[in-house]
Amino acid sequence: MFAAAALGILVVMGLALARAFLGPSVYDRILAVNMFGTKTVLLIAVYGFLTERPDFLDIAITYALINFIGIIAVLKFVERLDNGTLPD
C-alpha cells in the first residue's frame, strides 16, 4: 500500500518537473517547484515508514522548512523584479 503511494508521489513529482520546465509564467514555475518540494517531503516520510526509520520524519520536517523559506525568498525577489525596485 505504501509502495503504491510512493510510486504515485513519484509520478506527481515528474508532472511537477514538467510544469516547472514548460510553465508559461514564472509563477507557474515557482508553484511547480514548491509542489515538487512538498512531494519530496512526502516521499521522504513514506520512505522512512517503509524502512521503519522514524528519524526520517525529522529530515522531512527540516526539508519542508527549507522549502518554505526558499519559496518565500524567491517570490519576494520576483515581486521586486516586477516592481522595478531592484537596483541595476
Q: So what's the pLDDT on residue 65? A: 97
Does residue 74 belong to any structural domain of this protein?
A: yes
Residue 59 DSSP one-character state: H
Does residue 76 belong to any structural domain of this protein?
A: yes
Does residue 14 belong to any structural domain of this protein?
A: yes
In which domain, by residue range, is 44 found? 2-83
Does residue 88 belong to any structural domain of this protein?
A: no
Q: So what's the pLDDT on residue 88? A: 61
Per-residue pLDDT of 19-62, as tens digits, reads 999 989 999 999 999 999 999 999 999 999 999 999 999 999 99
Q: So what's the pLDDT on residue 14? A: 96
Does residue 59 belong to any structural domain of this protein?
A: yes
* pLDDT class of 81 with cuts at 50, 70, 90: confident
The more confidently predicted of residues 58 and 82 is: 58
Does residue 12 belong to any structural domain of this protein?
A: yes
Within a 10 A sphere around the Cβ of 9, how many other Cβ atoms?
A: 20
Q: What is the DSSP string of 10-22?
A: HHHHHHHHHHHHH
Domain count, the chain: 1
Per-residue pLDDT of 61-77, as tens digits, reads 999 999 999 999 999 99
Q: So what's the pLDDT on residue 35? A: 96
